Chain A
């Protein structure tokens, strides 16, 4: 990193959707503007308002179809008059849109064109039933593949990956590990008040996770517990230089340093070269750790893109914590649970916290910022002094766009 970059003042709205007690599909709910305002103002309040901000960026995937709204960058002045006439950009890279928003901010700070960037991720998806939402989400794949794809498209893609994993490494253990991943996700979400699964009261989560997938009603290898949720929500965070920290008066103990990042993209028109591997994610994560000059031994926590439980397992392998086919063992041995060797997705991840697609990348950064700064409340894990790093891996489409970031606790 040619210049020091920090993040601070993270804010998550509730991840709204089925599972939340206040959610009712037929009753009015907050809209895009409400989430934009809540998250943006949440972060601005912690950094002294919009007058301190040089530039804004919003990551969003598909508001154009979900709520028939494009041009989201022009919403920033709505939340704070001091943002009028300041530069603002909207970025899109499917479910990695949030990660791209973070990178856009980091690059501006690195370039020296901004000292304080407000980065926001947002998505509102409960505006339509899941069966129609699937049409919109499928646009993260190559459209000519849509016709032959599954009705819910991405569950179909990742069911295919699960099938490959089952065939290569055995179905029984894979299912056990997916069920364990589900259990960890929900147990972590129960510790975070904004999580969609916060109020989940199922006693035997693993038994539920073991539910046999049904190809007739859903997909051959994944059940609905294996899938992230349909969510509305937004997350925001500030990205700053040293000068920015000074300007906003943020104590360095309330900030994390960005030690490195990796960004990789693969050809959307091609099927995965190896269904048993998230190659793009692997490339991005390895670049991020390389840039930060660290190894997996230095990591205290990871936020991985578990849009499906199988993606969680493949994420563990992509990071090099386990060999190919051994990610299941790593999870079943408890290493990724909150009291394990390396806690993953400590507030539930996409399965437990929720997956407002365009917001997810930013939500990951907020969660790691909270953990490294001791602000995670009930969900707080121990950050050992010799492992002051956290890492996020945000994925767009079926491993087509990948953003990985390494965060360091400031000591």
Chain B
């Protein structure tokens, strides 16, 4: 089957979710582009957006319309060529409106698994639950011709397990987008032991068409991204618990987050990132990973405790941040959760104590937002981290420990062969997590 023919009937499972919605957008525009580029008269393409929630699907149609407009505006030069034969479409806005409606026409929403029957290609983006994933795949397989290919967006479950449990004989591959899929350039590609080489080849072709950067990861639970992230949560929690011996826990959480953001020159601190992903999602990922790790326990008591108290994080359907370890106003942290009183304490109240305890920034500190596009990034970071190492404040020591540990995790992923190289680990953190520098570096030696 040719690349284009693979898209005859595509299903996105979990299209109402934040990952599924983004994947739906990418695939819908890719299909529309194929249809336009290959001319009219061919077999029509079908794209099924499947989700349990009808409401989420309605939301995703609105999201799709807005996103597709942006795509259309950017590729107007190309679109004018594709719609060259349409004499009724003259001005840019007419062509853009037409493209949006052509993309929307391809997408059919459904809450019934029956709609997925006969799919040539399935993108799976339901929640990180192996049982659920296998159940849904099996339902599609029951009515299928045994030729359907599955691209799963799992961020932690070994592909081999899904393959065996669903009886796919290699018709599944890990195609792990980063959030939001339409923006993030990274795709972790996870080939299971028996994955069909044609499927792998197709996946590379698709990633190329979507302008994604592919990093191959070995089929070991958590892969590279979460392999690194989950272990960092554990280390951050450990640091916070240690600090909590001398300070209130909420103060400790705030300090660790601040050090892992500002002192480490990262876009988010470790607990803000945990909120962004969702504490429940993180707990789930650890549960999936833990049984596969012989020498470690991937289990975070702090997260369990917070979840028991109803602290979850994650995002509202409109993409805004829900309260978690922190409370947020317009996406910015304005309070930190105090497990003792079960209330959020305003940041203003913990800030001054924080500065006293941690000490002031080392010389040469540049915020992440600025350093990320600074042509002298390398030199500036070099000098900043050398100043950091020379300091003996609590903040500097925490940052150095955290940086060293981050490097060790990166190295572990290479040693376990999860990643092919140090470079691949760094690429995932640079591209998928927007870090300004990779975890495997010379800054903390």
Contacts and interface: CB of A to CB of B under 8 A. Distances in A.
Contacts of B91: 135, 138, 146
B115 interface: no
Nearest to B87: A147
Contact of A132 (B78, B87, B90, B92): B92
A260 B306 CA distance: 81
Interface in B63-116: 73, 76-80, 87, 90-93, 96
Contact of A216 (B73, B77, B87, B93): B77
Which interface residue of B73, B76, B77, B79 has the most chain A CB atoms within 10 A? B77
Contacts of B80: 150-151
Interface residues of B, number: 12
Nearest to A216: B77
A131 B90 contact: no
A169 interface: no
Chain A, interface SS category = loop
Interface string A129-158: 101101100100001001100110000000
A147 B79 CA distance: 12
Contact of A131 (B73, B78, B87): B73
A216 B80 CA distance: 12
A334 B90 CA distance: 42
B77 A132 contact: no
A44 B78 CA distance: 49
Nearest to B76: A151
A218 interface: yes
A273 interface: no
A308 B65 CA distance: 35
A135 to B, nearest CB: 4
A125 to B, nearest CB: 15
B87 A218 contact: no
B76 A147 contact: no
Interface string A204-227: 000000000000111000000000
Contacts of A131: 73, 76, 92, 96
Nearest to B77: A151
B107 to A, nearest CB: 23
A134 B92 contact: yes
B22 to A, nearest CB: 22
Which interface residue of A131, A216, A217 has the most chain B CB atoms within 10 A? A131
Nearest to A129: B73
B92 A135 contact: yes
Contacts of A216: 77-78
Contacts of A147: 87, 90
A146 B90 contact: yes
A276 to B, nearest CB: 26
Nearest to A153: B92
A216 B211 CA distance: 15
A113 to B, nearest CB: 40
Nearest to B81: A151
B92 A151 contact: yes
Nearest to A138: B91
Interface string A109-142: 0000000000000000000010110110010000
Contacts of A143: 90
A161 B113 CA distance: 57
B68 to A, nearest CB: 14
A147 B80 CA distance: 8
A298 B413 CA distance: 75
A217 B77 contact: yes
Which interface residue of A134, A135, A146, A151 has the most chain B CB atoms within 10 A? A151
B184 to A, nearest CB: 21
A91 B90 CA distance: 27
A146 B89 CA distance: 10
Contact of A218 (B77, B90, B92): B77
Contacts of A135: 91-93
5 contacts: A129-B73, A132-B93, A147-B90, A151-B77, A151-B80
Interface of B: 73, 76-80, 87, 90-93, 96
Q: Which 8 A-B pairs have the closest CB atoms?
A: A135-B91, A151-B76, A131-B73, A151-B77, A147-B90, A151-B80, A135-B92, A131-B76
Given A135-B91, A135-B93, A218-B77, 15 more contacts: A131-B73, A131-B92, A131-B96, A132-B93, A134-B92, A135-B92, A138-B91, A146-B90, A146-B91, A147-B87, A150-B77, A151-B79, A151-B80, A151-B92, A217-B77
Interface of A: 129, 131-132, 134-135, 138, 143, 146-147, 150-151, 216-218
